[in-house]
Chain A
Amino acid sequence: MPDKTLKATPTRRRSFGDKVRADMYLTRLDWHLEAVLPGKERRATVKELRQTLASDPRDTTTSLRDLGAPRLLAEQYAGDARRRPLWSIGVITAGAALLIYWTVFLSYVFGMLAAVESLGSTEARATFLTIEVSAYSTTEAIGISWTSDWAWLILPTIIAALAFFLGARIWRAITPSAKSS
């Protein structure tokens, strides 16, 4: 039976910001737990930790600091040396890579458009990583365009796939027992 003589540790009331921070921490932990625990066990671990955090008498900052970095905490939960692919982190990495690609691409094209307007010319053409882009500015219209051939789709797909491969550590799925020795 639980010891009734031990001092009671009242639960602290959490603000909305505290709940968001705890949720973000648990989400990041969930991503890293993919490497060490199977799905059902991972969800149970996160659920249990959520309840534990809710009943922790200390403030959220102290509680989260005491738990440590999500990646390191996830490593502590590992039952063996086997590491699984990090699918969620792979998707996030791929999304981030695409976002960076499109930001650079659009910055390049809009830069061309600005140059066309400032120079007073009607149209400019260039190649951005094998994709032909153009910017035009006439009295009737202003705009940007790029070719709709395979390069427009293939290049971002390759970038996203590579980022997913590296972010998810796909090789762990190919050689699951590589680290189990």
Chain B
Amino acid sequence: MTSWLTAADGPARAGLSGPKARPVIAGRDQVAGLLIYFVGAARRDTDPLASCLDSCGPLVPLRYQCSSSTMSRIQAQQDAQLTRAALPLLTLTLLSNEESYGYQLIERLADLGLEVTTGLMYPLLSRLERDGLVSTRMVPSTSGPPRKYFALTEAGRMTRASVQEQWQVVATAVHAATEKESAPHA
């Protein structure tokens, strides 16, 4: 049986998460997890299982995540890269619905179950503005300094359509490949 972990158990810095779901861990994986916990506890002061899960990303079987530190590291890197790849499309899509300021976009993504750090979002918005894909305007705030609102430009709309198309091509290819691989061999 394969146990799937959601990103609620993964780090915010890894990017994606599903805060409402809880992990379902199979008995065999629990044994493996306990072994890692106690072996790791002898080496570190921190909670090793937590740190292992912390470095893992969403939707990855526990036995793959924690089978080795190398695997976890590779998984964490892959998650970060996946988030970076998806974030421009997500941001352009959210901005096509309505203009928002930076932190508001993070909150809107969190409402969708995706946790993204400001360290990823703010530079992305800066790059989108530099490339002319979003326009900005300052709006006075009653609770502090004025906020910078971002809205999609016409170039941004075209880019979003193009990126979405690319994403669909990749997603379809990945889906087809994984379905084929996971199908029982004759």
Contact = CB atoms under 8 A, between A and B. Distances in A.
Interface of A: 1-3, 6-11, 41, 45, 48-49, 51-52, 54-57, 63, 66-68, 72-73, 76-77, 79
B149 A76 contact: no
Contacts of A49: 122
A6 B130 contact: no
B118 A66 contact: yes
Given A2-B98, A2-B100, A68-B119, 15 more contacts: A1-B98, A2-B101, A6-B108, A8-B143, A9-B104, A9-B143, A52-B102, A52-B148, A54-B144, A56-B118, A66-B12, A66-B119, A76-B123, A76-B124, A77-B123
Interface in B111-132: 117-120, 122-124, 126-127, 130
22 contacts: A2-B98, A2-B139, A8-B143, A9-B143, A10-B144, A11-B143, A11-B145, A52-B103, A52-B122, A52-B148, A54-B145, A55-B103, A55-B145, A56-B118, A63-B118, A66-B12, A67-B119, A67-B122, A68-B117, A68-B119, A76-B124, A79-B127
B147 interface: yes
A76 B119 contact: yes
Contacts of B144: 10-11, 54-55
B101 to A, nearest CB: 8
A3 B101 CA distance: 10
A23 to B, nearest CB: 15
B99 A48 contact: no
Contacts of B104: 6, 9
A3 B130 contact: no
A3 B100 contact: yes
Contacts, number: 73
A45 B126 contact: yes
A135 B143 CA distance: 65
Nearest to B146: A51
Contact of B98 (A3, A73, A76, A79): A3
Given A6-B107, A63-B118, A67-B119, A48 B130 contact: no
A22 B144 CA distance: 16
A3 B149 CA distance: 11
B178 interface: no
